[in-house]
Amino acid sequence: MALTVKDILELPCGQKMTLLAGERGLARPVVTVEIADYEFDPDVEYDTSAEMEPNGFIITSFLFAKDDSALILESVKQMYEIGMACVAFKKIIYEDLPPEVMAFADEKGFPVLSMEKDLWFEKITFEIMYAVQFDDKVYLSEEKIESMLSGSMSRSELGIILKGISLKLQPFVTVVYIPGSNLDADRLLRSFYLLKGFHSKGLMIRYGNSLFLIITSQRSDFKSHDLIRQEAMELLGMGPDLLMGMSDVHPYNELDQAFRESWQCGIASAAERKPFDRFGQIGMYRVLLPALENSETVAFAKALLDPLEESADLRETAHAYVDAGGDIAKAAAAVHVHQNTVRYRLGRIRERTGLVGQTDSELFMQLKTAIAIERANAASYKNDHRKIRKEKDLH
């Protein structure tokens, strides 16, 4: 974890805070902010250990303890036991805390901070979560994401990322790639960092106009990870019909592989204009997408498809035939012609492409591969921020 209580004290809001006890705990990590003014009230039914995320920066006025200062020590003990980073209280009800609270904080290394009265809870929340987001962005910059997507990241560099990001990684991870054509990435990113109760499960990072969502869990089954993905999409108001790509489940130290798989799954979904639930379902795209770096791959597709460019009917029929899985009747229905017309056009396609001696199944496989390469290349270019940035630089 990169951001610590000590780092918070160096923020503008931290300049209006004073460390009262628990100095040994200034290195405790902070990943979120929790506001607590009733949660530790013994008369309120609230499961703090279930509802509050560990490593939270707790801000409070101790309103729940205004008639009984003994409740302060009990609440601070609970905060420590559930793994909170520290507690900062606004000096409205209490100017000072009981000495037993200070003694406990010093013994456990649990920072207790006081805040000036003109420091608003909303300002603290915004500044801390912005700092956490900025810190994550440093560890997962676009350059580092590109290194993972290309497979060129070293193990040592990946290790720094695994230790530096705010998400405490569980044994298993998946990554979700969300293409950015219709996204308000800034709004979604801000909303994500303000989500309550989610920061122990996932981390969202921007890549160009797109987003990556890292999901982590104790469990290795895909269903558990997908349920977390669905929860995030629902909390962020993202529709179920949004095309995205999700990796298979990996050990956390294979995060780079999960990034590559999610991106490739998203590209395959864009190419086929249909969702693939996970990387393991994308079929031939597992081979085609890495092969796009080889100029011969695209040259193969162009050699087959360029001769059809002058005839819209032939090109439309070729695509319909492939999308129909080689079924002539379905292809004919798709382009609104008779089956014999499709057969006639396939004959012309054979002539133009030099595949005259090919059987129907051989013709289908050649066309399917060429069209898949063409679609994958177009989708890859559209969603590859490296290429988009280079194109802008040229202009």
Q: How far is CA 51 from the centre of its chain?
A: 22
User: Which residues are within 8 A (CB) of 286 and not within 5 positions of it... i.e. 6 or more apart?
Assistant: 264, 279
- Those residues whose C-beta lies under 8 Å from the C-beta of residue 120, and which sit 6 or more positions away, are none
Q: Which is higher by pLDDT, 28 or 375? A: 28
Confidence at 394, pLDDT banded by 50, 70, 90: very low
Around Cβ 329, how many Cβ atoms within 10 Å?
A: 10
Does residue 219 have a pLDDT over 90? yes
pTM, two decimals, is: 0.81
Hey, what domains does the chain have and what are their CATH numbers?
Answer: 5-131 (3.40.1390.20), 161-266 (3.30.70), 290-394 (1.10.10)
Which phi and psi (to 5°) does residue 236 adopt?
A: -90, 0
Q: Would you tell me how many other CB atoms lie within 10 Å of the CB of residue 152?
A: 10
**Per-residue pLDDT reduced to its tens digit, 108-151:** 999 999 999 889 988 999 999 999 999 999 999 999 999 999 89
Find out whether 12 and 124 touch, Cβ atoms under 8 Å: no
Task: Give 166-217 pLDDT, tens digit per residue.
Answer: 898 999 999 999 987 677 888 898 889 888 778 889 999 999 889 999 999 9
